[in-house]
Amino acid sequence: MNADTRMTRTDVQKLYSVVGGRWWDPFRAQWELFWARGAVRDLDSLLRRYVTPEAKVLDVGCGENRRVFS
């Protein structure tokens, strides 16, 4: 890593190539089972309450291209 502790793109690529799916896949299953359902339900409720059908929404999140709200 750089001396100022910021990770470069190469640092991130190296890190992900070492631990990538080995930790994410099992973690994701647990995350979705125990926590994500409530979070998605709450987000869905907020979006339905405050976002009108004609609204434009910019999604700047980090994810797997799965729809949360449609």
Joined together, the tokens standing for residue 58 give 């910019």
Per-residue pLDDT of the chain (70 residues; tens, 9 = 90+): 445 678 888 887 787 777 666 777 777 788 788 878 888 889 889 988 998 888 887 776 666 666 655 5
- What pLDDT was estimated at residue 66? 61
User: Dihedral through CA 35, CA 41, CA 47, CA 48, nearest 10?
Assistant: 180
- What pLDDT was estimated at residue 49? 92
Burial class (CB in 10 A: 0-12, 13-18, 19+), 40: middle
Joined together, the tokens standing for residue 45 give 């409720």
User: Cα–chain-centroid distance for residue 30?
Assistant: 14
